[in-house]
A and B are shown apart, each in its own frame.
Chain A
Amino acid sequence: MNDKNKRRQAVSVKAEGRRARGMGSYLARDFKRNKLKYLMVIPILILLFLFCYRPMYGILIAFKRYRPVLGVWDSPWVGFQYFEQFFRDPYCWRLFRNTLSISGLSLLFEFPAPILLALLLNEVRSRKYKKVVQTVSYMPHFISTVVVCGMITTFCASDGLFNNIIETFGGTRSNLLLNKDLFYPIYVISDIWKGIGWDSIIYLAALSGIDQEQYEAARIDGANRLQQIFHITLPGILPTVSMLLILRIGSLLSVGYEKIILLYQPTTYEVADVISSYVYRRGLMGGEFSYGTAVGLFNSIVSIILLLTANKVSKKMGQSGLF
């Protein structure tokens, strides 16, 4: 009650101020009252301007022939030349195929893994055991990409762990990372290993939000545990699953370059080279700045379209969307 009055008073004071002394003094009052808050936000805005918005302006070079001496603004315009060059690039098809293969496989195997883990953890009765499994499965998340890739390289080497195991089962030793057919399995399995625990947190949180009375009611009605899982637990986490699925589909074309760059070899470029690693190798390392930016920009525009489409489809199907 008191609060409401105060707010009403504040609003009326504001309105009065606006009428009496005009917009200018209204703003002046706002600045005066919130001086310190605006002061706090200034360094943040400066940082965002310097390191987020300036690079966005730099995207212009996708439409220009960028020359470092001239800078972004003075380089000559060339229109869509670099985009056309990309579509005529002999590697274009290969890049799309690899990017979609890797993210498709991730969607198929990496996406459901943490959901399954969360469902299993949810059914465990011993709190201690649950905690142990959680702690251990979070561990790989905190290991750096470089170290994970270092482990993969060492394990896959011809005298590494995996070859020891292969030999025990009667296989022959070889460097697994140089094998084109094994790149996807290695990539996806190591991703699952790194992410399964951490990614399950969000589903566990969604699971803990399910009303326990539903389970009680189901038990009284004679539902067994499997039935409870299928009719209460799964529908309970469906909104979370669909939301994360939209995000996944939105990022179908953005396979991270870090792991690819660390793991691929010239012999596996055929299957491992994705759009972002190509931007890195050709654009940045090869010095073709404009071309690389054009490829990257095309990639992110398609990604945004994919995200918006997935969001719309999900809303049509009666699920909650992102926005």
Chain B
Amino acid sequence: MKAIARKKKKRSVQDWILDSFIYVVLTVILLVCLYPIWYVIVCSFSNSSDVIQHTGLYLWPDSFNLEAYGKVFENTMVQRGFRNTLLILACSLPLNLILTLFCGYFMACKNMVFKKPIVFIMLFTMYFGGGMIPGYINMMELNLLDSMWSLVLPSAISIYNSIICKTAIEAIPESLSESAYIDGANDFQILVKIITPLIKPTLAVLLLYYLVGQWNSWFAASIYLKTESKLPLQNVLRYILMENSTTNLGEEYNEYAATIKYAIIVVSSLPIMCVYPFLQKYFTKGVMIGAVKG
């Protein structure tokens, strides 16, 4: 009896050490992940002079100041960036959704003569591409340079996301669409009325992936678009954050130079930060499927 008790105690001591070690390490990771973001937020609410003069860790605004945000929202470049990005999203997201559904439905179908070669044509693009310069020449030849469509069309369909969609469709019992088929529904009706409502969570995650991808992309716009007024938000951010400068914004911004960058970061990242936690529980599935296929 005693021996068992001692063993139990020993084990629980060991457990306790392991547990506290795990919690300490995880808390450190948590803080390291969080602090840069927290710092940006704190700075965006501060006075410029506080941010410049402060040394060491900055944990709470020395004085609360919203003017940087006011300046960001007033700025025409930022406004235009937001407008362009929203316009691009308004064109691309519906297209993404429809085409991904179509592609997923096609991949999930059986008994079709040309399915295999068509799916091969799709999958091949996942492994091999033309590269940066042939892509650029292609856009030039298609006369799409300097047009918003050069950003929308190439990313209109992601085969990777379609595979996730296909797997979700395959999980639906076949008898459902079969009985609808017998009742005289065609493929479009089955897709819209039966399949789409059943795979809503997957579609929401895919929509998030497309949204994040389009919202965060900047490289394509930087090489395909020439007119400054057409640039999406990320490219405006690049001007302001990287090519240092708030001087690009105009002289009246110098006073806020130190805080305005932080305010811009918060404003441009906030929309997505608000969406993803709601879809978090569905992430695992998509990642798993993607890994198996890709």
Contact = CB atoms under 8 A, between A and B. Distances in A.
Given A41-B103, A226-B18, A293-B134, A146 B284 contact: no
Given A40-B102, A43-B99, A142-B273, A262 B33 contact: no
B106 A40 contact: yes
Given A137-B30, A165-B57, A258-B219, A58 B130 contact: yes
B219 to A, nearest CB: 5
A53 to B, nearest CB: 8
Interface size of B as a range: 35 or more
B216 A145 contact: yes
Given A30-B112, A280-B132, A284-B223, A146 B138 contact: no
Contacts of B217: 144
Given A30-B113, A201-B287, A283-B132, A225 B106 contact: no
A55 B122 contact: no
Interface stretch (A87-95, A149-157, A180-188, A266-274): A149-157
Interface in B257-294: 261-262, 265, 268-269, 272-273, 276-277, 280, 283-285, 287-288, 291
Given A36-B186, A37-B109, A136 B131 contact: no
Contact of B265 (A61, A151, A244, A257): A151
Interface in B233-274: 234-235, 237-238, 240-242, 244, 261-262, 265, 268-269, 272-273
A41 B284 contact: no
A146 B269 CA distance: 11
B34 to A, nearest CB: 5
Interface residues of A, number: 94
A56 B55 contact: no
Interface of A: 10, 26-27, 30, 34, 36-38, 40-41, 43-45, 47-48, 50-59, 61, 66, 68, 71-72, 117, 120-121, 123-125, 129, 132-140, 142-147, 149-151, 153-155, 159, 161, 164-165, 167-168, 193, 196-197, 201-202, 204-205, 208, 224-226, 240, 243-244, 257-258, 261-262, 276, 279-280, 283-284, 289, 292-293, 296-297, 300, 304
Secondary structure at the A interface, as helix, strand, loop or mixed, is: helix
A297 B216 contact: no
Secondary structure at the B interface, as helix, strand, loop or mixed, is: helix
B265 A150 contact: yes
B122 A48 contact: yes
A11 B240 CA distance: 64
Given A37-B105, A133-B26, A289 B137 contact: yes
A56 B280 contact: no
Interface in B191-208: none
A287 B123 CA distance: 32
Given A142-B269, A146-B241, A159 B131 contact: no
11 contacts: A27-B113, A52-B129, A66-B137, A138-B280, A139-B37, A139-B276, A144-B216, A147-B241, A225-B15, A257-B219, A284-B133
A146 B135 CA distance: 22
Nearest to B25: A120
Contacts of A10: 111
A300 B131 CA distance: 9
A58 B134 contact: yes
Contacts of B125: 48, 52-53
Contact of B23 (A43, A124, A284): A124
B29 interface: yes
